[in-house]
Amino acid sequence: MNKTWNNKAWFMVAPVLILVAFNAVIPLMTVVNYSVQETFGNNLFFFEGVKWFREVLHSERFHASLLRQFFFTGTILLIEIPLGVIIALAMPRKGIWVPVCLVLMALPLLVPWNVVGAMWNIFALPDIGLMGYVINALGIDFNFTRQPVSAWFTVIIMDVWHWTSLVVLLAYAGLRSIPDAYYQAARIDSASRWAVFRHIQLPKMKRVLTIAVLLRFMDSFMIYTEPFVLTGGGPGNTTTILSIDLVKAALGEFNLGIAAAMSIIYFLMTLLVCWVFYSVMMRGEDE
């Protein structure tokens, strides 16, 4: 029996494909074009091949920014994933406090990114900010505008405050999906709280935690507004991560070839690490 294909569905999908092409494919092709050419204005381009890629890959500035980026990403993942799971485990499963806790957890995610940076900039100032004043009152010299350690501490705490809620909500959704029969069987076997977490809750949260790690990794690699508003990449270049360095090269120095090549490397690196994360964390899932 021959099947009749209805191609009218493509008319419904076409607007989405056009929108994706306009927002993703066309800008990407523009960046690729700039990454292999040099321009001196007036739409005059000269083909340079992989010159800009070689310069970026051999640049100490890029290596330093990349190292700072991995430090930032690794630190927040090590803090936010365990902290989010702990908070999700402590949240109630039934009763009136469930919606209250969910709303409170969602509040940081609703704050615009530029507002987050401005809030923490004021909050951490040593003279007028509550956090800065309290830390200095405890006898600790704290000034994120001048001290690299203080700047990194403030940037990381800001990101933990802003994005741990995402991990909490994902982990809580994973916990709520576990049938009560598993907990009943654990009570019959007199399983300890750690045993329940190790053998029931953690395996059942594996998929949502994989999503949480991937989302937080990608977000941390793309983060720009919050740390830029907070520290501007300073003091000096202490908190200049890849995104801030890229914007400085493109807009501050107008090195379009260098910035475009850095963008492509940045993009491919993010895809590669995400694929590695996903492959490792989902290993054995289909078995």
Give the pair of three-digit tokens for residue 273.
Answer: 């690490």
Helices (H), 91-205: 97-110, 113-124, 130-137, 148-176, 180-188, 193-196, 202-204
d(CA 69, CA 254): 22
In a domain, 286, yes or no: no
**Model confidence, pTM:** 0.85
Please name the amino acid found at residue 204: K
Query: Can you give the CATH number for the domain in which 125 is found?
Result: 1.10.3720.10
Q: Which domain holds residue 172?
A: 61-281
- Which tens digits make up the pLDDT trace of 169-227? 999 998 988 888 888 888 888 888 888 888 888 888 888 888 898 889 888 888 888 99
What is the DSSP-derived secondary structure letter of residue 94?
Answer: S
In a domain, 54, yes or no: no
In a domain, 153, yes or no: yes
* Total of domains in the chain: 1
In a domain, 32, yes or no: no
Give the phi and the psi of residue 39 in degrees, each rounded to 5: -130, 140
What is the DSSP-derived secondary structure letter of residue 4?
Answer: P
- Which tens digits make up the pLDDT trace of 96-136? 888 898 989 999 999 988 899 999 999 999 888 899 999 99
Give the pair of three-digit tokens for residue 268.
Answer: 């491919």
